[in-house]
Homo-oligomer: A and B are copies of this chain.
Amino acid sequence: MRGLGTRTILYQQNVAASLGMYNNDLISVDILNETGPITAGELSKLTGLATGSVTALIDRLEKIGYVRRQNDPSDRRRVIIVPEYESKEEISNTYLPLHAAMINLVSSYTPEELALITEFLGKAGSVLEDQIEQLSSTTRGKTSS
């Protein structure tokens, strides 16, 4: 689990480098892709980045067309960040070899085995989510800003 974690991080860093992006920028588009449109404040909370850093990050992503800001249709005073990520060919091309290799790996398992593995991965994800929340509240408690 720990070895896989380290490799996941290194893989993501290599993807970011090959796209000429900052790590946090790529992580943010991944998060947005999963959550759908959210506010800058919500993105700041999810990434653990300061609000000012998130503003600059969204500026950069908007400039290269990976996200756009728009008024929330359900509350026009709120601005939400909309991912435009999946449509970007350079990103899907970069992930393509990983997808192909993962599909190849997955095809060697039965549907029952895959159901078990998927359930485990989902639960491990929830465990990590809880841990992130606990850690980030501890870290916020320690710093004054």
Q: Which residues of A contact B (CB under 8 A)?
A: 1-15, 17-18, 23, 27, 30-31, 34, 46-48, 94, 97-98, 101-102, 105, 109, 113, 116-117, 120-125, 127-132, 134-136, 138-139, 142
Interchain CB contact under 8 A, B46 and A131 = no
How many copies of the polypeptide does the oligomer hold?
Answer: 2
- 9 cross-chain pairs, A with B, having the tightest CB-CB distances, nearest first: A14-B135, A7-B128, A4-B125, A18-B139, A101-B127, A5-B8, A8-B8, A6-B30, A11-B128
Q: Knowing that A4-B122, A117-B117 are A-B contacts, what are 8 other residue pairs whose CB atoms are under 8 Å apart, sorted by A's residue number?
A: A2-B34, A5-B30, A6-B34, A8-B8, A10-B47, A10-B48, A13-B48, A102-B124
Interchain CB contact under 8 A, B11 and A135 = yes
Chain B residue contacts of A124, Cβ below 8 A? 4, 102, 105
